Structures are given as structure tokens and as C-alpha cells.
Structure 1
Amino acid sequence: MTKQNPHTQNAEVDMNPMLDIVFILLIFFIVTTSFNRPTALDLNRVKENKPSLSQTVTPQFQITNDNQILLNNKVIDAQSIAINLARLDANGEITAISVAADKESTHNTLVHLLNEIKGYTSAPVSLGNLR
């Protein structure tokens, strides 16, 4: 017969409650942590002004006292205003248009000229008198 030592015991440690406590603490710290996004300054960057390859054109119309229409000091037909603007637009971008009418010219000629201009382009038009 063998004798058993009365002082030896099988000691086992149950780690399940310890793991539960660790996971509960981990969840607590994750939930209570505040996540701050780093703040940055908003920059308003200046858009680069790329030099345009085309030149700018400013057509100058004149209406004489006998209702002739001149474009850059050359007489043109009242029906070919849009065609002449297209020709100038092919040479460069139309940025503004100048119109000067004689005091003796008729209102219909001026209105026809303005309608033709606005029918072709949306460039700003400045009005003036010849004399």
C-alpha cells in the first residue's frame, strides 16, 4: 500500500472570472475614450492664373448719321454683324464690345446692332455717342 501525503493538494486556479474582468475593463476604456480628430487650418488657395494662349479682342462699332455701321473703322453690312464678330472671335477672345452711335442715327439701327451682338456673344457692351 502506498501512503498519500496529507499535505499535497491539487490546486487549480480558474481564470475565467479574471478574463471577464479584463474584457469588461477593455470595453470600458474603449467606450469612454474620446477620439479627437486633428484640427487643420482651412487654406484658401489662390487659383493659378494660367496665361491664355489667345489674345483678347475689343470690337468697336460705330453708327454714323446716315445709319452706316462701322466695325473698327470699316463699313460693314447690317446683316453681316454676326459673321464679322465670328471672324474677330477666331482671332482672339472677345472680352468687351464698344458701340458709339451718332445722335442723328435711328433707333432701329442701334437696336438691330445690339440684338445681333447679343445673339452672338454675352460679352459686356458699352454704349456712347460719336459727337
Structure 2
Amino acid sequence: MRMRRHHQQDEDTGIDLTPMLDVVFIMLIFFIVTSSFIKESGVEVQRPQAGSATAQDKGNILIAVTADGQVWLDKQPVDVRSVRAHVERMRVDRPEGSVVVQADRDARTGLVVQVMDQARLAGVRDVALAASAEGR
């Protein structure tokens, strides 16, 4: 009887990418969970300058009032009378959040006051008016 000898490769010479992919997916999940998403009102306004302006981190509902009298909320123009309903709907996600009104420096004061009043009627206690710090 003749014995045959089989030459089997005991080890594969390929690289195992599974641990690297695990690390990449864990890092991706980490960055998604820890990132903060910036919400925008949908229109750029020229904010007035103020010497006492400070940064506010917790403003999560932004309302913009333009110089020509438009009110923007969640990247779309809205009627000033519907601001309350929109704010109430947006507060479902974060009930402890605040509202920041970004009024253009040439916007009518009466319209800005109406917008701030609608936000307060929606139950928001912390309504801030955005301004740029002087010298920026």
C-alpha cells in the first residue's frame, strides 16, 4: 500500500479585517451619538451688535425675523400667528429647551415682540434675542 501525502495549507495567508471593521463601526457609532446637530432657522439675518452679548448653548428652536417682515422657522417661512403652534410641536422633542429669536437689525420691533410673545404663549420660559458681540 502506498500512502499519499497531501499538501494542505494549514494557514491562510489572507489578512483578517474583522477586528478593524469592528473598531471602525464602534467609532462611527460613537461620533454619531456624541455629535451635536446645529439647527438653523433657514435664512441669514444681520444681527445687531451688543457689548453684553454672550453665547447661549441650549437654544434649540431658532426663529428668524428678516428686515422685510418675514418670519422663518425650521427653514421655512411661517405666518406670525402660527409661530405658537410650530413651537409647541417642536417642543415635544425637548420640553426643557429654549427659543432664540434671530431678528435682523432693521426688523420691525413690533413683529419681533409678537414672535417672542407667541413663543412664550407656547410655554417657553426662556426666550432670548440673538445679537453679535461688538468687535466681531
> How high is the TM-score relative to the length of structure 2?
0.49
Letter paired with 2:121: G
Question: Taking structure 1 as reference, are residues 110 and 63 closer, same or farther at Cα in structure 2, changes over 3 Å only?
Answer: same
Which ranges of 4 or more aligned residues in structure 1 deviate by more than 6 Å? none
Question: Taking structure 1 as reference, are residues 64 and 94 closer, same or farther at Cα in structure 2, changes over 3 Å only?
Answer: farther
Question: Aligned residue pairs: how many?
Answer: 75
Partner residue of 1:110? Answer: 112
Question: Taking structure 1 as reference, are residues 82 and 94 closer, same or farther at Cα in structure 2, changes over 3 Å only?
Answer: farther
Partner residue of 2:95? Answer: 93
Q: Distance in 2 between matches of 1:127 and 1:57?
A: 10
Letter paired with 2:60: T
Give unpaired runs (5+ residues) of structure 2: 1-57
Q: Once the two structures are aligned, what percentage of the paired residues are identical?
A: 17
RMSD of equivalent CA atoms: 2.1
Structure showing greater radius of gyration is: 1
Letter paired with 1:93: P
Partner residue of 1:81? Answer: 83
Q: Distance in 1 between matches of 2:92 and 2:108?
A: 31
1:1-131 to 2 correspondences below 5 Å: 58-129=60-131
Question: Taking structure 1 as reference, are residues 94 and 66 closer, same or farther at Cα in structure 2, changes over 3 Å only?
Answer: farther
